[in-house]
Amino acid sequence: MTQLSSFTLRVKLTNFDRIKAQNLSEQVTAIVANELKVNNTLTQLDLRWNRISDRGGEALAEALKLNNTLTQLDLRRNQISGRGGEALAEALKVNNTLIQLDLANNQISDRGGEALAEALKVNNTLTQLHLRHNKISDRGGEALAEALKLNNTLTQLDLGWNQISGRGGEAEALKVNNTLIQLDLENNQISDRGGEALAEALKVNNTLIQLNLENNQISHRGGEALAEALKVNNTLTQLHLGNNEISDRGGEALAEALKLNNTLIQLDLSSNELSDRGGEALAEALKLNNTLIQLDLSSNEISDRGGEALAEALKLNNTLTQLDLRHNKISDRGGEALAEALKVNNTLIQLDLSSSEISDRGCEALAEALEVNNTLIQLDLSSNEISDRGGEALAEARKINNTLIQLDLNNNQISGRVCEALRVAFQEDGIVIL
């Protein structure tokens, strides 16, 4: 390890009983930690999936107090609890080289979270801290939020899959912090209360560019608050709201915000109970918005009416490159409308219509569109009701179209004969999934 700059260790413990495996893991970790104390070349150390316990965490922490070259330490998926978290936190108070620390999928808990928060108040080199899946609740969340008010180097904080509620305090921190650019709160318990607080913070924050609030029980109320924030915020580029309860009312509010916002490039509204009403509102926004490039509306309740509205928007919009409509009820009528849009749209490169109740009629329309479209490179029509007729139309279209490189027709009703024709059509410069 003396001359290495990067080192990865995976201890295979499959044939050991649990106690022997743990002892071996701790012995190996101790050896690595001792080497780290004197090593002056290693910059990246990957120790994930090694059953490292608190003892191992403490050994590595002691090494970090002396080491002055390591910049990345990956301890994902080990067995480090609050005690090990405290030890690593103490090391961060004196270490001045580590910039990335990944502790995801351990058992850091509030005890470790609070200790790491104290370390962040004095550490001035760490830029990325990953703490997802660590049983951190509001207590740990509030401590980390207080640290963010003082810390001026951390740019990425991942707290996804913990137990932080709307009371966690991150919103207040965002009002004063001016370095954090990515905040992941996915799969917590943020709810409308937290959504509203974060929205207020976004009105004054001018550094955050990515915010992940997926699966947080946010309803139309939180959606409306975030929409108001988007009308004035000019730095956020990615907002992930998938798997919430935004509904049409929240969707309409976000659509209105998109008419004014000129920085957001990715919006995820998947699995949010949006119907045609929400789809139509977003379609109207796309006619005016000129910055959004990715829109995810998958797994909602949008039917052909919403599909037609979005199709009309695509005839005018010249910035959207990715549109995800899978797991809706677009049907042939919506598919035909989208096909007409593809004949004139010259920016969309990815369109996902999987599980959208499209049969041969809609497929033939899309095939006809591909004969004139020269920008779409990925089209997903998997899990629909397409048979040989639709498959043959797509194979014929591919003879003319020279831009589509990936077509997914998996889980349809296409025969072996037509599958072979499709393979031939794509064999030179594309991929067809059947």
Per-residue pLDDT of the chain (434 residues; tens, 9 = 90+): 557 787 786 776 665 566 666 777 889 899 999 999 999 999 999 999 999 999 999 999 999 999 999 999 999 999 999 999 999 999 999 999 999 999 999 999 999 999 999 999 999 999 999 999 999 999 999 999 999 999 999 999 999 999 999 887 899 999 999 999 999 999 999 999 999 999 999 999 999 999 999 999 999 999 999 999 999 999 999 999 999 999 999 999 999 999 999 999 999 999 999 999 999 999 999 999 999 999 999 999 999 999 999 999 999 999 999 999 999 999 999 999 999 999 999 999 999 999 999 999 999 999 999 999 999 999 999 999 999 999 999 999 999 999 999 999 999 999 999 999 999 999 988 899 99
Cβ–Cβ < 8 Å for 146, 118: no
Q: Where are the domains of the chain?
A: 6-433
Pairing between strand 72-74 and 378-380?
unpaired
The predicted structure's pLDDT at residue 169? 80
pTM for this predicted structure: 0.96
The predicted structure's pLDDT at residue 11? 73
Tokens of 24: 């071996």
* Strands annotated E in 359-404: 378-380
* Strands annotated E in 316-380: 322-324, 350-352, 378-380
Q: Which CATH number fits domain 6-433: 3.30.43.10, 3.80.10.10, 3.40.50.720, 3.90.1580.10?
A: 3.80.10.10
- Which of 31, 17, 136, 27 lies closest to 81, judged by CA? 136
Q: Is the dihedral of CA 134, 196, 218, 269 positive or negative?
A: negative
- The amino acid that residue 93 corresponds to is K
Query: How far is the C-alpha of 247 from the C-alpha of 228, rounded, in Å?
Result: 16
The predicted structure's pLDDT at residue 1? 58
* Strands annotated E in 26-155: 44-46, 72-74, 100-102, 128-130
Cβ–Cβ < 8 Å for 314, 320: yes
Tokens of 156: 């990425």
Cβ–Cβ < 8 Å for 204, 175: yes
The predicted structure's pLDDT at residue 2? 57
